[in-house]
Copies of this chain bind each other. A is one copy, B any other.
Amino acid sequence: MQLSNSEEQLMQILWKKEKAFMKELIAAYPDPKPATTTIATLLKRMQDKNFVDYVQYGRSREYFPLVRKKDYFSKQVNGLIKNFFNDSASQFASFFTKESNLSQDELEDLRQLIEEQIKRKKA
């Protein structure tokens, strides 16, 4: 089960906060803020999909993510790579390198990083 758009947006907020009560989540929205019932519905659906859980404190709940942002993101990217590059990460990397408008400095940094990565693998 995937998150829908509005669920994902809420998830982003929750990832940033790490954990939060509903009121805090709503506070994090830009105006016009959604109705509390809207968020309650989304949270419930996200629980059903096993993306969040909560700890009860008195009559309130502190929600927290069950899925790490990093993992979720990876899944998204891998999905894209599968659909558009026939599952080839390197083809994607090549495409990205050419098409993204990384600056000279950013490219340098990236090269640096890749070199480290190469070394690490060798070791």
Contacts and interface: CB of A to CB of B under 8 A. Distances in A.
Interface string A1-26: 00000001000100000000000000
B90 A110 contact: yes
Q: Is the interface of A mostly helix, strand, loop or mixed?
A: helix
Interface stretch (A31-39, A59-67, A111-119): A111-119
A93 B118 contact: no
A74 interface: yes
A115 B109 contact: no
A100 interface: yes
B96 A109 contact: no
Indicate the member of A84, A106, A122 with the most B CB atoms within 10 Å. A84
B93 A102 contact: yes
Interface stretch (A40-48, A50-58, A75-83): A75-83
Q: Which 9 A-B pairs have the closest CB atoms?
A: A90-B106, A89-B100, A73-B84, A111-B114, A107-B118, A93-B110, A97-B113, A104-B121, A94-B113
